[in-house]
Each structure stands twice: as structure tokens, then as C-alpha cells.
Structure 1
Amino acid sequence: MRLIIVLVLFVAYPVCCAGAQDPGDITPRILTINSPPIAYFERGELAGFGVEVVRVLSERLGQPVDIAMGAYADNYKRSRLEPSVALFPTSRTFGREKEFKWVGPLIPEQICLYARKDSGISLASLEAAKHVRSIATVEGYASETYLRDRGFSNIVSHRSPSQCADALKYGRVDLWVSSDVTMASLARQADVDPESLHKVLIVSEFPSYLAFSPSTPDVLVDAWQQELDHLKADGSFERLRAKWLPRLEHGVGPMLAMEPAVQYTEKERAWIAGKQVIKIGVDSDYEPLDFVNAQGLHSGYSSDILRLLSERTGLIFDIQYGLSWSQVMDGAMEHSLDMVACLTPSGERARHLLFTESYVRFPSVVVTRMDAPFIGGLSDLSGKTVAAVRGFHTTQQLRDEYPATRLLIVENAAEALSAVSQGRAYGYVGNLGVMGYLIRKHGLSNLKVASRTDFDSYGFAMGVRSDWPILRDILNKALATISEETHAQIMARWVAPPPPPSAIDQALLPWLWAGGVTLVLVLVTVVSWNRRLSREIAERAQAEQHLADSEQRFRELFDNAQVGIYEARLDGEGRFVSANQRLVEMLGYDSEQELLQECALSEHLLDSSTSEQLRRAMISVHGFLKLRTGLRRRDGAMVWAEFSGKINPKNGLVTGIVQDQTEQVQAEQALQEGELLMRTVLDAIPFFVCLFGADRRFRMVNRVGCELLGMDIDRIVGRHIGDVIPEDVWALFKPAEDKALGGESSLVDMHTDYARRQGFYNAYYSPYVDAFGQVQGVACCVIDVTDRHRAENQLKASEERYRVVVEQSKDAIVIGSMKGELMYGNPASEELFGYRLLEVKGVQVERFFHAEDWPRIASFMGQAGDFTYEARMIARDGSVLFVENSRSVIQYDGQPCILVHIRDVTERHLAEQRLRQNEERLQMALDSPEYGLWELWPQSGQIDLPVRVFHDSFGFSGNELNRDLKGWAEVVHEDDLVATKEVLRPYLQGEDSSLKHEFRIRDAFGHWRWILVQGRVVEFGEQDLPVRLLGVVQDITERKAAEERLRELATTDSLTGLSNRRSFMEEAEREFRRAQRYGIALSLLMLDVDHFKEVNDSFGHEVGDLALKSLAQIGRNVLRNVDIMGRMGGEEFAVLLPETGVEEALEAAERLRASVEQSPVMIRDSSEVRCTVSIGVALAHKDETLDDLLRRADAAMYAAKRKGRNRSEVNKEDAAG
């Protein structure tokens, strides 16, 4: 086991010794996908924005690079496992942050949901997308993970974006998740018109990155990141973006490349690398600065600033949705949130938050109604009701500085402005930017900016948790790089001033008076006209009755018609004027009244432009049109209908009928899909397939047929067979065609020059009939069987060659039936067994096998398959042969038979038997609980240890014996670890072929055991490195214990267990030299037991010995572990105190003296003997020797005895000092 631990260290050695790698020596491999205009193939070469950026970076670094295109899922797996491999493009989302090493950001991307315009799909939120039938995404994309993590179960994963676009085109899915940067190009590749798709919802916004594998050296990643920063700083990056992505307009992404890179300190870079994901709180309803839009995404001025900061710091901002403003502030103060995106700095907030520099500023103003009188400032609001938003800094300012103002507390700024507009509040104090936006958005035209306030202008900053000042500094540096131009773009995107107050133009007053007069004249005329009409009512009553009867009959026909009948206007929204019951039901309404009140024609057309197209088409065909279009029912379902109508040029109304053709359209679509499926299947068939009619004209031909005929499909379909196939070739096929047209299938097998390709062909002809059994044409399959003919000829030649080989083979080869009867044996088999074939042909093979082996052979005799086995066989003379038989099932004489290749391995078997015997003898010799063989394979770390030593003696279990080298390293004694590593290094590196080393390991019982490891390298591999090591390990614990006992006898006083005089002087000499070399204090105590002779004389030597042992034990208890105590002879002892001055030494002497005085020696009769000691203290001087120090301490001890004993005395030279 100790051996294993040592070897672990040396497996780690090459890693420890490896130097930093030059990034120029590494060739990165960039894995990309088909994502135009980022990366795609153009005329066989990779091109695109991302490809060109990678190549420019490679050239600048002087580093070759390998760019390859593949499926995203495959690229993703490789980029996580292989070193120096990067995935591009990919999103740096929260879950992937630790999976890669990132270089970027490169371009901003919006991940969106796209639908067909004719699908009628619209979504109010991302949650609503869970209810559509299916959503296409690419396997492994971040968008796939993003949606699955949010509970989407309707995801359909594809291998490529083009497959997603194709699935959307043919209606197999309802939505497609794609980047807005690449959608149009990918759609065109799938033969989908991008204009036929529309963006339904923005799912998320993440910039794209280069993602290097986690095992990529940091020096390479840092070099690429630094060069990318330089590329942005010198404008080259922006020129590439403008070349490839001229229409990239969302967010503020285009400004990214034109502004200076941020210069961070090493400490800041390390902090960014360690944190990366920052939790941010936002105000969900503070438009236009900070809010959550209808799709549930963070929006506003602050969202654009955060996007820029993420790109320039490499941090990911994790927006925490669903929090009220008070919850956001509480979270920031409690540090459950790391940042607040947008707030006004204040003294109260500064107690819990740090603030960045303000990134946008607006003046503070008062807004009132248009009809409110002039106010000069906030003091004019005294006694008036002013709307104030809960939790806003301005609300607290009004309370503190203008207490006479009555406050109407509301939840947001929009509600505050609404209260002013409705008269519930006199005014609202807020910032001009927000109020201007909200007034314009909500159409509050009765409001005006009444006055500026004496409050400070609103500076909006970001709040950072108080214990992260470094984050505030990082953000400030990044904010400082945002140019004024970029701020202006963001301002124009989100903020606009409020409308100015307006007044009635006095010039309009005369026109208002004239209008009043005209109105009076109109009223007079209407009264006169009504009187005239009253006279005509009676005359019309009878005519109206007849008309009503006619209308009733028409209405019955109108409502009972099986087609929809309508009358509608073509101007405006296309409102229905009338509709029959069938149209009402078709569009999903309960009554005609509901249809006329609630809907218009344009609301039901799948394409809103169809109404205008309908009107223009009617005019172009002189007022009549027949058009098929899609209609959306009231419940959202879709129906297909055929419009036919005629326009009345007098009243602009169109009258016509609507026929439900949903089933017909679905049948047509099914037919189209079936034809497409058939086309796809036929093109996948690897041989020529075609259809031709009874007129022998081609109706269809697959891809292989086009290739074989050397023509495009357009040049084949519709043409006569004789015009496409040469006449001499057609003559071979024509009889079979005639049979097929007569209703009979046939096969033609020929050798011909078909379409200029000499070879053998099989042509199959089969008639296809209609529902009445009439032959309508022929289906033909032409299969090129040239390779099969060639293979058959080669097989015949091979069989002949094989027969010659078998006859001449040195090994025995026999063939038997599946029943075990011998059918053939080559000459070598006759020589091996001593039988002639004629003697044993037809004999059961059981006869030739050893009786003990036959049951095993018989068990697989009739089985199929090839395998090899060993057995004993009997020769004619009765001798036993050890053979290795390779068995195969072959065709022989037209039936399945067993061919056996027999190799005589008798000599090898005997040699192996002798080897096993030798190994058994060796194993018996090594079968000892104290020593055994070990074997190690350094490359795999596998090691085999002697079980008796490590299991029986050391107690390790089977699982513990199977641990790897690192596991064994944990049980090596820490004092032996470094030395063992140094001994083994040349051995493991092949510099020394032999090993001998002793060290300690901890056994399974917790005891330290000494082992001796000896061995040598028995097999070398490439670069002369050891591949296999072999040796002996021996338990030498008892030998080491014996050596330790001998050492103790030589250095230890046998009575007290302390160092004897010789050992003490050696240790004292080492400590004395160390103190002199480093100038550190060293003190010495000399002590002697007072009146010790009297103790011996009075109580005997046994009690004296007990007193000396007691003194030694007291010394161990009182003195420090680093202090050295020894017996100098008789009752005299010495104590060396390293790094101890004279005062501390005197204190130690007194503790020792007092302990001896207070610790009597107990004797047999339960009486006690008390002893005392006299101690001399001396401090080592710079220019003296150890003998001088001993002499001065001894002198001090005798001085203590002279002064009455049982005391400590400092040498007079040290006492004077």
C-alpha cells in the first residue's frame, strides 16, 4: 500500500513539473454550424461574419486555426470534452456559465418565436406559447434548454435550423425558435420566403460568444480575448460587422465595436471571473426607464444600459421578475439581490446601498391640468392634493420639506398622472422624462408642465449591495465607456418630451358662429320634410307590405342556402351589411346580429392585405372575382373558403357567396404532402425508379434515374421513352414494357451499355391500374447489378484459389456436416492424425475427440456462428494431441457445413504447463504474510499487491486494495512523503531501472507499518518511459522497532527515560549552534537533588531511584515539548531551554523547583519522602562555547546550594546584565 502512495506522487510529478504552454504552440479547433450570415458554405468555402472574425484573430495572433462545421449537438459535446476546442456561435446563459471559458461578446441577438403569417398565431406572453401544438428548436441550443427549464413540453428538437424552417413551412410545427440575426438566411436555405413569416414574440436577448472547452489553457483564452478587445478598439470589428450584418439594429449592439475597451485591474478581472452572475431587481412599472413589457421581459432605458454593461464586463445579469418595488428595495438591503437596475440615490438609501454614477438625468417638474392656474413652485401646492408614488424618493421629500401638501398615495407614475387628469389630484411632482413618455403613451392631452421644482434633477443610477464596492467600481468604468452618441440613441428609443399646452385659435370663432346658424336652418328644413313624409306614409304602407312579403320569401331562401351569402363593404374594415345563417355558422357566430355588430371581413382574413387585393382584383376583372382564401372563425379555428362576388360600382358593396372548402383544401394539402413524401422516398431509393403512362411518356423519375440518364428531371418528364433512351437499349426493354402494359409483370436481365455505362442491369416492370382495373401505365425499377456479377465471378475465382490454399496448407483443415459426419480432410489432417480420408469419410467426429472433452464439443456442434476453442484429440496411434480449433459455418456442396481449422498446440500446451508449475513454485516461495510480489502499470495507474501482506497482515479489504494511486497516497506517513517522491522520480521516468526504498504507511487498524519496496522496470514503452514495473514488498516493522530499541538504549538513561549525558550533549550542541547562527536566546538549567546521599542512606537506593524517576516525570509535565532535559549523572540533571531569555528561564526553574518540593515520593509503608532541588540558570553568550555555558550554569547551581538549597539562582554574569 505504501508503494502505491509513492507511485501516486510520481504520476502527479509530470504535471507539477510542466511549464506554462505558449499559446502559439496550440492550434485551436473552432466548431461552428450552418448559420448564415455568421457561418456557412459559399462555393465550397466557409464564409460569414464569425468565420472572418476568427480568421482575423488567428492572423493577428500568428496562430493557425482549424474551422469545421457540424451539427450543433455534436459540436456541443466535443467542445466540452476536447482541449482547445471552441463552439461558435453560442449564448452565454446562466446554466452554461461554468461549462466553458468565454471569449466575447461578439454580437447581440434576440431569440424569437416565428410563425407563418397565414397561421393566425399571436401570443400575449411566453406562457401562452405552452398551449400551441409544437415548437421547433435545434437540439442542444440554449433556447431549447431555456424553454424546457420553463416547463415547455411541446418542444420538437431538430438537428439543424434548416430542418426547423422546413417543419414550419409544411405545418409540422406551429412556431420556430430562431435568432433574429440568422432567421432570414436560414429560411431561404429551406426554400421558405422570410416574408411569409412574422415575429410572434421575443423570448430572450443574449449576445453570442466563442465558448472554449474547460480544459483549454487559460493563456490561450486570455490571448484571444485580448486580441478581440484590440479588434474592437481599432474599429476593425465594426467594419466586419457592417460588411456582414448591415441590418443589425435591435438594442444598441452596433455601438459595441466603436467604443473603447474597458481597462480593468487584475483584482477586478479576478472578481468578475469569480462572480459572473449578478441578481438584479427591477421596477416592473416605471416606464420608460425601468419596466417589464407585455412579453414579460425587462425593458426600458435601463435594459439597454444593462445589455451594454453585460457585454463590456462579461457579467451576466439575472433579472429577478415578479417583485414589487418595496420587495426590490428590501432584497437589495438584505443582499438577497445584488443590484437595483434604476433608482435615484438618496441619503436614506445610501445607508444600505452603494451607487454608480448617474447614467441618465431629468429635471424635476410639476404637472397639472391645462385649466389649472399658474404656479411658481412647490410652495404654491400648499394645502392642495398632490399625487405621490409609494416608496419613491420624491414622496419622502414632499413629506419632509412641504408638510402642508396633502398626498394622494398611488402605486405608479401612470396612476399618478391619471389622477391629475381626472381631477382627483391637483398635480404630480416627478421627472420630466418619465412624465413626457407616459403623457404621450396614454394620450393625456389635458395635462401640462406647470413649473420646475427646487428639487435636485433626477439622476438615475444603479444601486449595488454595500459589501461589494468593487462591483460599483467595475460598473462605473464600463459606464464611462458609453459614448454620448450611444446615450442619444437610447434616449431617442425610449424617451420623448410631453406635448406642449394648446389653446383654441381665436380665428376659429367666426366659423363656430356660422356653424350654429347653419345648424338652425337644417333643423327647420328637417321639420318641414317630416311633415311632407307623413302625408306619404299611408300611400307607401300597402307597397311596403308587398315588399315585406317578398323579403320574407327571399330571407327563407337566403338563410336556407347551403353556401354562405353576404353583402359587405370593401372600404375601411370591410364591414358585413348582411349575411345568411350558413355564413354565420361558418364564421362561428350565434346570430346574424352578432356577426354584423362584432366583426368585419378583414378580421377573418388570414392575411390583412387580402381585403385590398380582393377589391383590386374585382375591379381588374370588371367587378367579378372568384378567389380562395383562409378565414379565421370567431373561436380562432381556421377554415378555407372560396369567395365569389360581384361589386356594385354605385354603392361600393360586394355581393357574393362563400363556399366552405376546408375539407377540399385539407385533401389537397394531404395530396401535396403525399406527393412530397413519395418524392422524398423515391429520391432516397438507391436505384433507378420511374413511372410512364400507356403512351410511354415519363410521368415521374427519381434522382438516381436522372443521374443514370444524365439529364435533369425537367428534360425527362413528359418525353417519350424512345426520345430519352437509345434505340438499341430500348429494344432490350421493350418486350418487358409491352407485357407490363398488358397487365403482366416481368423481369429483364441484360448486359448492355446503358446511358454510356457498360454493365449488367436488372429491370423490373409492373403495371399500375386505376379504380376500374384499367392499366394506366408502368412502374419500372432498374438496378445496376454489375458489382454483383463481378463479385460472383471473383467468388468463383476465390473458391478455386482457396481450394489450392487448403490443399497446400501446413495446418489440418476438415469439413463436417451439421450432424457431425466427416466429409473432407486435407493432406495435413491425414498427416496429423494418421488416417487417410477414405478410411474415415462419413465417420462421426466424436471418434476423434477425447472422451472428457466431447460433451462440451457436442453442446455447440449444431450452433451457427464462428468461434475458436481448445480440445484434446486422439490420433490413430492413440496419442493425445492438444489442438486449437477455429470453427466456421460455410456452404459446401450446396449445403451448410462446418469447416474446422486445426492447429497442433501440444508443444505450447506443455510449455504453458511447465510455466504454471514454475509460477506455482514461485507463488509458494512468496506466499508469506511479510513479503510478496507487486506489479504496476504507470500509464493506467493499475497496481496489483500481495494479498497476504496487505489483506492478512495490514487488514485492508478487497475494495481498499483496488484503490488508485492517489488513494494509496493518503496512507503514506507525511514525514516520508517528500523523500519517497525524490527516490521514485528517476525510477518512474526511466532514468534508473531499479528501486530500493523504506517508508511508513498506516494500516487498516490505524498503526504505522514500515515497508521495504524493491523492484525494477521490466517493460519500456514509447520515449523509453516505463510501462510495467515488478518487484517485492516486505513488512520490516519489527526490524525497525528493534533498531529503534537499540537506538534508545544508546541514547536514553535506563532509570529515568531521559536523554543520557551523551545524547543530551549532542542535542545541546545542535541547539547551541543554531542559537549562535541566528542570534536567538538559549538558556540552560543545571539542577541537583538536595541531600540525595542522606535519602539513599536513610531509605535505601530503591527509594532514591523512585525520587529520580519522580523528578524526571515532573520535568516532563512542567517543561515545554521543545525543552530538552537529560540526566548528567547521579542526582544531577540539565535542562536546555531554546528561544528563552534569562527571566523566562528563571520562571521555568522556579516552576520546576516548586513542583518537586510539592510532590513527595511515596514508599511502601504509605509514608512519604520529600525532596528539593537547587537550580542554576545561565544564558548563552555570543562568544562562548557550550562548555562555558555548562560551567556557568553549574556555578550558579552551587551558588544556590551555598545560599541554603531548594532555590534557583541566576549566574552572576547574567544577573548583572
Structure 2
Amino acid sequence: MTAPSHTDSSLPTTSSTSVFQAMFDAADAALLTLDANGVITLCNPAAQQLLGYPAAELCGRHPGCLLAAERLEQECRQLAQRLGRSVAEVEVFTAEVRPGHSLQREWPLLDKQGREHTVRLSVTAIAGVGPNSGYMLVLQDITELKRMQQLMHRQHALFAAGPMVAFSCHPARPDVLVEVSPNVADILGCFPEDILLEPAWWLQRLHPDDRPCLADGQWRLAQGAGFVTRRYRFLHGSGHWCWLEEYVQQLGSDVVQGYWIDVTKQVDGEDRLTKIASNIPGMLYQFSTNPDGAGHFSYVSEGVRSIFGVSPQQVMHNTDLVWQRVFPDDQQRVKEESEAALRYEQPWISEFRILLPDGRMIWVEGRATPELQDDQSVRWHGLISEITQRKRTEEALRESQERLDMAMRGARIGLWDWHVALGRLDYNQQLVDMLGYDQHTLHCNPAQWQALVHPDDLPTVRHNIRALLKREARQYRIEYRLIKRSGEIMWILDKGQATEVDGNGNVCRIVGTVQDITTHKQAQKLLESSEAHFRMLFQNHGAVMILIDPDSGQIVDANASAVRFYGYRRDELVGMPVSQINLMEEERIRGTMGVALLQAHNHFTFTHRLASGELRTVDVHSSPVESGGRTLLFSIIHDITARRQAEDALSTLQRQLLAIIENFHGAILLEDQNGSVVLVNQQYCEMFMPDQTPEQLKASSRLHVAAQASAGFAEPERMLQRLEELQRSRQMVLGEEWALRDGRMLERDHVPIFIEGRLRSVLWVYRDISSRKKQEEALRQLATTDALTGIANRRSFMEKLVDEFARFLRFGNPVAVLMLDIDHFKQVNDTWGHAVGDKVLHDFAALCQQEVRQVDVLGRLGGEEFAVILPGCGMAGALALAERLREAVRAHVVHVGEASLQIHTSIGVSCFSRQQQDAAVALALADQALYEAKLAGRDQVKAFDGNGQRFPPGD
């Protein structure tokens, strides 16, 4: 009778051993066979790869070597207690396995490198007799699976009651979910088991409009830092459409993990906001900045198209599109204003320029409020609107005001402004100059004005003022006398008007003008006293004077000065229409004569043509006079051509100078001979005193300003001391370099300005040269450093060798030199390639740098040749260092992927000697010693002293 065979649980026969071995080796699973004593007998390649052991090391050992010692002890103790045996009698892997059955469990096994792998272990008893019995172990690596399960369990607990749904999928099928957190039922109305059982669940619930670009899920595999984000419509379990925002990233090569957030309410709110924003001129936005400074727009209205010339979608994906449109000269200011708003928790308000794609420039006003979030990010809610027209209007008003001021100065018209309720009376400079007083004496003092009025005219002045205050009249026009500071009597034409009334009907502000009519009054008085006297004065006066008939517009009379000025004979001038010499249109000439007759205004500026055809700019004072029984216009003419040209040239020059100073690429401060600040530009304030303005610094003491500015310098006391030295010496000093506390470097010019041998002012110019200094340092590094190893290159090394030899000849301190060469380096390049060769050179230089002292100089002379200068080191110390270097290189392993290689070095040693002609001799001796080290078999140290003798002698 033959015993039944069990082919499924017995060892293979001898005839089928080769077949079994081939199947065993080809298996994808990790397989181990144990004999009856639990010793490993076979190990397939998959097991070797998993455990990191070659078969020769595993076979003959107990599998307990794959368990951590404490875990093995714990398992043996628990198994012995369960089976009622001693610890020495149990085998943890096989003790509970019955023939014909398999035992499965999970174990934390350690590979050869000590890394822990969680494996699902299946142990099967193999039937046999005696030595043919044993066990088969199947190992399945489930480390990553366990990690993902733990991660998902933690995520499920985290998201159970949260607003986000966690899910995962495989990179091979990113459109099919393999895990989803339980709270999906609460948020999306779908049960996890239904989702996981239906592969097309996610695809079927995508909105038809979103499906074409999202259906395959490939966008979830985008690589990069952080999450990939998409927003799309999704069918809720209750049957309505909702908006989902998905955050997804690929973890490793085998899992894609993401989160869903229902943002339906947010989208609805954004839609409402978009409708509101469409009716608001400008760009509404919400911008968030992270603690690291990175930012993004979370909302941008359609107004961004008209402001920046880009679409909201473009801005949401690339915030730089907005910043690039800001005019370069305004970018730094806008940045500083936003930083100040955040720092002081105040609204950001800024006006700046935008360059549109079509080349147009517009002005915009930005307003935003910063909100600090719990994660230390900042969210800005703001509006940017165009203000180009407003800026143009403001500029036009400013220019109009400048022209008005210029005209009033030219016409010698003073301006006063009386704030009745405040008891304050203000004057312009023209009026103060007319009276001969200083601004302080007259400013804010209404009583002082009445004290200047001639006593005989004071009742009239008070009567007109009271009429305005009682609102009996809206304005007045009176002529009266004032007493100037010099005691002279001046006649003025004073026109006042009530401009503001409070809620109770009380006049609270009166504004008026004052015109000096003394000359007019004097002439009128002369005419009134005697026609003959007037004629004599008229004819003999040095000023140009003419009489005009306002009805006909003809010149009735002209004095000798007028004849000389215009170049016509007197009989030609008399009877000539005034329009022949006045270039203004005839209708406007008649209009000005009508104004002069009414004495509403008697000062004009015209352009007159002389008989020669030359054009002259003239000031004309014209007033009505009675002569010969009729009313004529008496005009006094002053040629102001040269003055007007000088004023225009000076004004242009001043504007050009101010424009140059404001746009100068540097900080400028100008002080006068007394040390007071005359002029300072905005760059100076931004560089040293950002909380001050140029206007605030004017008239300040230079010492005061310098003391404030010195706080930003690295050496403030030395800086102030140097300023005093320059003030005493008054020498021009250009290009002084000064460091600031923040690491920037400035270049300063000190330029004393002498006019006719006298010091008039001093100009200080500061320029930021930090970038230039960094470039110079970078160039120096490039010129002196080996690009591959980071140590001194050949040129730099040889310069240091020459310098050290000069110090040796002067002081006599010993100096040694090493020459090093990597043995068989050509074979490294030929075998491993130049990339590995470069790594070997880099590692070699790093090893040498670790061993040498800080005062030593390590350099690469070329290829694999290196050298070291050892100041203050004799031959004995140099040889000891050379041996340390050789041993360090010998012990170093260069890792190349999974492989590794070792290198060796040969070293030659020498030193400086006074018998040597130059530094290169010692280097040549070290090179000769290096050559002998290579001839002696490499990986050695040889030496020659400074006289060319072997060291130590007899070596």
C-alpha cells in the first residue's frame, strides 16, 4: 500500500528541484523557506530586495534576526505563556503553525540597514519526513498601506465634524476615489460605501459645463509646492447643484490626497459682490499676504480691466501683472505706504500712476483696510479707482493759482483775509512789503491795521466795514490813506467782500484786495491843482506818459519820454489809435479802457510795438482824469521787458533745478553759510528720516538734522566727528564711503560752494552703492575662487604665496608648502564620468579644508592638483598635517548612487629658505617630493627641505 501524496504542502522531489527553484526565484512575493528547526534555508530575490540581505547572509540564520531585540523578547514571552512552555522552547514564527494550515499576522521586521518594514507574514507548514519537513514564509510589505491607513484614520477623525471632506485616489486613476472621510454624508449627502463601490461616482456628478476640462482628473497630478486648487459645480445628494472648492496634491508616487469644501455660499456672495462691483467705478478686490510675504488675490472685480488692462482671471493666477503696471518711480513709495498702514493698523490710502499696455499713463487712488488673520496672514479689502481727471484739474488749479499770484505780484496788489469769528487777519507777502512791515508784526492782528489808517479816513473805513458786518452791503470799494512804517503816506484802493456767513446769518469771513494808487493820486492832485502844472509835469516827467480819449481810442497827448520810448515823432503819436501800438484786439482794448474809467482796475500788462517793430512788455497804470472839460485816460507806462524775461528765466531755472534735485538718484541736502538747511529732497528724508518731509527740514540747523540722520549709520559718533572736520576744513571731498546699520553702503560727496571767494553754501550728496559693492565683491570672488571647489584658484594662490614669501624674508617665521595630487584620478573620470570626477574633487577640497587651520591657504592649481601654504609651520608640523590629510582622504568614501568608491592622495612637502630666489622654488620642491611619492607607489608623503635635501635625512 502506498501512502497518499500531498503535493501542495510537501517539499519538492529531487527531480523537480530545478523547476521549484525557478518558480521560487521568479515569484513577485518575498519568500523564505525554513527547516524543521526554524532556520532559513532558501531566500528568493524579492525577499533579498525587501530585507536588504544577500541570500548568503540570510541562509543558516534564524528569522528572529529580522525582529528588534525587545520585540522578539516580548513575542517569545507572550507565546510561551499562551502555550504553557518555557521561553527557550518556543519559536515565534512556527510554534503555532499546524501542518496543512497557514498562520497570518503582521510583524515589524528590520532590514539590513535597520529600517523598519511592516509586513503581512503568512507561515505554512510543509509536510515531510525528517529533514524534508519545514515551513514556507510569504512576506508582503504593507508599510505604506499601514501609513496611509493611519493617515486616513487620523484624517477621518479630524474631518468627522469639520467643514471639509478628505479623499484620496491613485495616480493611475485620479478620477476614481479609493478613500473618503465619513463626513461626506453630512456635507455632500452621499454615503462613503456608495462612493467607493461606484468608480464613476465623481465623474457622474460633475456639472456638464465643467466635465470636459476636469473629467479625466489628470489636473490632480500637477507637481509643485503646495496644493493644486480647482472650483467647480457638483450635484449634491439632495439633487441640487453646489459649488465645491478642491485642494489636491500628490504624495509620493502612489497616492493623491485632497479636500473638498462646499463654497456655495461664498460663490453666491461673490456673485452678489460682482453685481455690486459692476456699478462701482474702479476695481474692488480682496488680497491676502502670507507671513512669508507671498500674496494672492482671492477676489477681483471686472474693473481691473479698465484700471490695469488685464482680466480678473489673469490677475487671480499671476498677481505680478498688477504690480508690473505701477509706474516704476511710484513702486517704492506705494510699498512703503502699505507697510506703514499695516504697521500702524491704519487704512492704506495712496495715489500713484499706472502704465497701460497701450502706453497711456493714468492716475489712480488706492484705498484698502488691512485685517490680521489668526494664522498671521493679512487680508486687504480695497478699492482702486481712476483719478486722472481729478489730478489734471488739481494741476490746472495749481497752475491757475500760480498765474494769479504772479499777476498780483506784477500788479502790486495785496491780499487780506479776515476771519471775523477767530479775530484773525492774514496778509500776503505783497501787502506786507507794500507797507514796509514784517510778516510777524501784521499777522493775526486786526487792530494793527486800523492803527495804520490815516485818522481823517478812519471813520469812512469803519463805516464800510460795519455795513458788511451788518449785511447792509455785500462789498465795498473805498480809497483812503495808510501810514507806512517809514512814516510816508500811501494812498490805497481797498475792495472788500463778505465771503462766508454762518448758520445764524452772521458774517464770519471777509476777503479783500489792496492796490497802491499813490502815484495815481499824486498825479490826480497835480492835475486838479493846475492844468499848467500838470502839463509841465506831464511833459518833463521821466516816466512814459500818454493821454488817451476813451471814446475814440486815440492818443491825445504824449510826453517826451513817450516819444523817445516809442520812436515816433510827437505829431505822429498824437492822433494815433492806441491799437496801433497795443497788440491786443481792439475790442479788448476798449474793454480795458472801460474798466479803467470805472476805476474797477487800473493796472494792466500789455505788449506794445515800437516804431522799429520791436515788441516790448509794459506795465500800464491807467486812471481817468479831467482835462479840458472832458474825461481822459492818463496812462503811465513802465517797460518791464527785461524784468519779465529775467523772471521767466529765473522761474524756469528754479523749476528745472527743483526737478533735477527731486529726480536725482540720491539724497541731497544744501545748507547755507550759517549751517541752516536751505534745500533737501525727498530721497534724503526716505533714506535717513522717513517720518519727516523736506518742508519740515527747511531752515533747520544742519547739526540738528545730522544728529537725527546719524542714528541710521553704523558709526554715528565717527560720522558726526567727520562732519565737523569737513565744516572746519571746507575742502571738497568726493566718494567717501559710509556703512549704515541695516548693512547698506553709502557714498558721500561734500561740496563747498564759493561765490566771489566767499562761502555761500555747502552741498551734501549721498548715494546708495550697496549693489555696486556687492557686484565688486562678487567679481572679486569670481577672480580669486575656484568655481568647482570654492577654494582659492591658481592665480589667487600664487599671489598669496608671493606675499607669504615676502613676509618670510622680512620676519623669518617658518612657512611650509604642500603639494597634493589625487591618485589615479584619470581612472575615476574614465570609469565613472566627469560628473563623479567633479564630486570627488569637491569632496577632496572639503576634506582638506576641514583639516587645515584657518590661517592656512588651500588652493587648486589645476585638474586634480592642490596646494597648501602653512604660515608659521615647520617641516615637522607640515609632515604631521600631511599624514592627517592622507589618512582623512583614505578613510573617506564617495557615494555614487547605490555604489561607492575610495580615493587616495600623494603629498609632497617643502618649506621656504633664505637661499631660495623666489616663492616658486619651494612650490617646485614640494612638487618634486610629490613626484617621488607617486614613484614610490602613491598614497604616501615625501618631503624636501628648503635647500633641496630629503627630509628627514636618509629617507
- Return the TM-score normalized by structure 1: 0.24
Higher relative contact order (CA 8 A, sep 6+): 1
